[in-house]
Amino acid sequence: MAREILGRAQVRPGFGNGGYVEDLLVRAKLNQRQRLEAADIGDFKTLDEKQVLEAEDFDKDYDRFSRADCNRDALFDEFVGFDKITKQFQEFQQMANGMRRMGLDPRSYMPWSFVFQGPPGTGKT
């Protein structure tokens, strides 16, 4: 999870490797502490196995990919005639998932920005 977060961050302007990594770890440790305190496991400082940072410590929404199909379809629920667009997004998601499984970064192989065109009043904005 940390590698994924760092991979997304490194393409942003102003990315500073060392400082960002330090901030990421500090936030993850704080999130871990909150998670363990909420679980009420007692004195977790003495339990070595509880010192492992979990994916949710780095990103509370770490499993968003498992809900991608529902989230994608919900975007266009109220619109008529968007079946072709949702199908295209589904194909992009499948392609990205396959590339991730192969250890490839899909960002350089597929579009990430879309322009919706149509007459005024069709809900493009």
Cα angle value 13/16/21 (rounded, 5°): 125
Alpha-carbon distance of 88 to 83, in angstroms, equals 9
Q: Which two tokens stand for residue 101?
A: 């499984």
Please return the burial class of 62, using the count of CB atoms within 10 Å of its CB with bins 0-12, 13-18 and 19+.
middle
Alpha-carbon distance of 53 to 33, in angstroms, equals 10
- Per residue of the chain (125 residues), what is the pLDDT tens digit? 677 777 777 777 777 778 888 888 899 999 888 888 887 765 555 555 567 888 888 888 777 767 777 777 777 777 777 888 888 888 888 888 889 889 888 888 888 787 777 777 766 65
Where in the chain are the domains? 1-62, 64-125
Check residue 73 and give its pLDDT: 75
Alpha-carbon distance of 94 to 97, in angstroms, equals 5
Check residue 44 and give its pLDDT: 54
For residues 115 and 94, is the Cβ–Cβ distance under 8 A? no
Check residue 43 and give its pLDDT: 57
The pTM is what? 0.50
